[in-house]
């Protein structure tokens, strides 16, 4: 196989892969070809739960009446807590940091508990 044959073969394979994946062109310049919406079988879609309906966007004639709240599977982000932790930057002695990390997973939570205990604060 010559170099020009190899380049031609790779170009052919690239173009075939692009056509199989619904793209026109190649690489970052590829334009995605939308699928035909008439090919979607709505009978295959699972029924929506009451919770999903309550969180879904509500629109009438294209005008949004109620914004969506979260995703269809679960609300976005972490659950809210009454008193969230604050992120800080602090300088520690190297040997202290090594000792803290040596306590294993959740060493930061353990450090928080020890600081609360040292300050006489309840958990």
Q: In this predicted model, what pLDDT tens digit does every residue of 53-98 receive, in sequence order?
A: 888 888 888 898 988 887 766 667 778 888 888 999 999 999 999 9
Whether 39 maps to a domain, the answer reads no
Q: What domain range is 107 assigned to?
A: 88-123
Alpha carbon distance 108, 95 (integer Å): 15
Residues 92 and 69 in one domain: no
- Res 41 pLDDT > 80: no
Residues 30 and 1 in one domain: yes
Residues 97 and 119 in one domain: yes
For the question of whether the overall pTM of this predicted structure is more than 0.85, the answer is no
Whether 82 maps to a domain, the answer reads no
Residues 51 and 28 in one domain: no
Residues 102 and 71 in one domain: no
Q: Which two tokens stand for residue 98?
A: 């090594």
In this structure, are residues 68 and 57 in contact, taking their beta carbons and an 8 Å threshold?
A: yes
- In the chain, how many domains are there? 3
Residue written as token pair 């992120």: 87
Residues 98 and 121 in one domain: yes
Give the C-alpha distances (Å, rounded to integers) separating 2 from 5, 12, 13, 16, 20: 5, 15, 16, 21, 27
- 40: confidence class by pLDDT, cuts 50, 70, 90: confident
Q: What is the pLDDT of residue 25?
A: 54
CA distance between the termini of the chain: 72
């Amino acid at each position: 196989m010559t170099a020009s044959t190899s380049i031609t073969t790779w170009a052919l394979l690239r173009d075939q892969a692009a056509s199989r994946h619904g793209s026109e062109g190649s690489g970052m310049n590829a334009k995605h070809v939308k699928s035909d919406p008439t090919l979607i079988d709505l009978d295959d879609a699972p029924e929506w739960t009451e919770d999903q309906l309550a969180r879904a966007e509500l629109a009438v004639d294209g005008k949004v009446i109620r914004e969506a709240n979260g995703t269809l599977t679960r609300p976005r982000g972490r659950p809210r807590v009454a008193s969230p932790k604050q992120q800080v930057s602090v300088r520690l002695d190297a040997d202290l940091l090594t000792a803290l990390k040596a306590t294993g997973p959740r060493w930061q939570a353990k450090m928080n508990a020890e600081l609360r205990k040292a300050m006489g604060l309840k958990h």
